[in-house]
Amino acid sequence: MRKLLHESGFAFGLALFAAAAHAAQLEEVQTFVGTVVLYAVLLFVIVVVCYVYFMRLRDKRAAPLSRLFEGRATIHSVAADTLVMECVRLMTAKKIGALIVMNGDELAGIFTERDALNRVLAAGLDPRNTKVSAVMTKDPYCAPPTTTVAAAMELVTKRRFRHLPIVDKGKVLAVVSSGDLTHWLVRDQMGEVQGLVELAARS
């Protein structure tokens, strides 16, 4: 009887140990599955965010330049006989990097910060006595308003200038800078990405 009880107790203990081992294995499997699911969800969110970001970026690159200056009516321009000093003061007051130089109703050139440095200061000219027509960039490269943002970015990058006059049928509509193009491309992108991340976190 004692031997039977001993064997029964041993068998019961072995069964408990087996059950505990099985439970531990089951818990490990559940933990592993949970980890895999978590990583899968995170990977899905990253893929969705990247897809949305690049799709919107592609759409923005395909937008015409006219979208950039919708509602922007102010064009900062000066006459060809304006003194450089006056031009620099106007650029400083308006916090802009370039001025359109007009000869009557026609575009004569563009005067930029680079022109002020390289063609006036570096050349030793007196900005109080130098007309902007003598140091401006004559016949600047212009683009029609139908030009895409991507084409404009490629243009300013290859030709190494920062300001691009937008002209339609001889009329200057706006001046778009490389900063304007960059801002257009990244505007609202971070907010949209953050919104997607928060949406995924709530789900």
Q: What DSSP element (H or E) covers 174?
A: strand 171-177
How far the first Cα of the chain sits from its last, in Å, is 62
Residue 41 in this model has a pLDDT that exceeds 80: no
DSSP string, 14-55: HHHHHHHHHHHHHHHHHHHHHHHHHHHHHHHHHHHHHHHHHH
For the segment 46-61, what is each residue's pLDDT rounded down to a tens digit? 654 444 445 554 567 8
Residue 62 in this model has a pLDDT that exceeds 60: yes
pLDDT of residue 85: 97
Residue 107 in this model has a pLDDT that exceeds 60: yes
Q: Bridge-partner residues for 138, per DSSP?
A: 109
Q: How far apart are CA 140 and CA 101, in angstroms?
A: 10
For the segment 125-156, what is each residue's pLDDT rounded down to a tens digit? 999 999 999 999 998 999 999 999 999 999 99
* Confidence band for 21, pLDDT divided at 50, 70 and 90: low
What are the backbone angles phi and psi of residue 131, rounded to the nearest 5°? -80, 145
pTM of the model: 0.63
Residue 111: partners with Cβ closer than 8 Å, 6 or more residues away: 78, 84, 87, 98, 99, 101, 132, 135, 136, 137
Instruction: Give the mean pLDDT of the chain.
Output: 78
pLDDT of residue 198: 53
The fold for domain 65-186 equals CBS-domain (3.10.580)
